[in-house]
Amino acid sequence: MSKGSNRSKRTPRSGSISPNVYSAKHGKSGGLAASEHETATLVTITIRPATRRDAAAWLRLRYALWPDASESEHRAEIARFFAGQAREPLAVLLAEDGAGAVLGLAELSIRAGAEGCTSDRVAYLEGWFVVPEARRRGVGRALVAAAEQWGRDRGCTEFGSDTQPDNLVSAAAHRALGFSEVGSVRCFRKALQG
């Protein structure tokens, strides 16, 4: 998802999203690379909407995902979201482990159209991030499953996303979760002189 490519339809942020509970593989020692010696255990991951109390955790995840924007820009966007004034995202889902640690996010919108999609209300994965120490354990998968349900609940029949061409991990994860690649876009800009 490329932040800033804002083609989202202005749709009121609505309603409640019920928390979804998933079991995810979780290594006992978070930072270790997977190896034959690592013992994966099943832990419960809850996917739930962000609340005002999550502002600091959301800021950390957002800044890690999009470091090109300043912390104060992220903070302002978060404030707009909780004030109900954000055009995008329309919803923010957080993944939390059993101890209440926030491990990842999915920022969502509904776009009037998206590359390769045919409908005019496309649920869109605007941001997707899992903290490095919790990756490859199903947290990203659980976030996407809950995001898909969010889209279905709003009448969407398609789910769109994008990533930078060189983000091979993201591409692999999208494909593993059932997305098919529908194109790549080059973006251009030209200043219009008065």
Ligand X SMILES: CC(C)(COP(=O)(O)OP(=O)(O)OC[C@H]1O[C@@H](n2cnc3c(N)ncnc32)[C@H](O)[C@@H]1OP(=O)(O)O)[C@@H](O)C(=O)NCCC(=O)NCCS
- For residue 56, the minimal CB distance to ligand X (Å) is 19
Burial 60-78 (b: 16+ CB within 10 A, else e): ebbbebbeeeeeeebbebb
- Neighbour order of strands in the sheet with 20-27: 20-27, 40-49, 91-96, 102-111, 122-130, 159-161
Span from 73-81, 114-122, 164-172, 181-189 in contact with ligand X (CB under 6 A): 164-172
Residue sitting closest to ligand X (CB)? 140
| Residue 94 engages ligand X in binding (rule: CB under 6 A) | no
Calpha distance 39→19 (Å, rounded): 28
Sole window of 50-58, 107-115, 123-131, 180-188 interacting with ligand X (rule: CB under 6 A): 123-131
| Residue 65 makes contact with ligand X by CB under 6 A | yes
Q: Binding of ligand X at residue 172 (CB under 6 A)?
A: yes
Q: Least distance (Å) from ligand X to the CB of residue 158?
A: 17
Query: Can you tell me the distance from the alpha carbon of 146 to that of 62, in angstroms, rounded to the nearest whole number?
Result: 19
* Residue with smaller CB distance to ligand X, 110 or 142: 142
Task: Collect all residues with Cβ–Cβ distance below 8 Å to 102 and sequence separation of at least 6.
Answer: 54, 57, 58, 61, 94, 95, 96
1 near ligand X (CB under 6 A): yes
Footprint of ligand X on 131-160 (CB under 6 A):
135-141
Among 42, 56, 101, 169, binds ligand X (CB under 6 A): 169
Q: Minimal CA–CA distance to 146: which of 100, 101, 99, 91?
A: 91
Rank residues 17 and 138 by Cβ distance to ligand X and give the closer one: 138
Residues lying near ligand X in the complex (CB under 6 A): 1, 65, 128-130, 135-141, 163, 167, 169-170, 172-173, 176
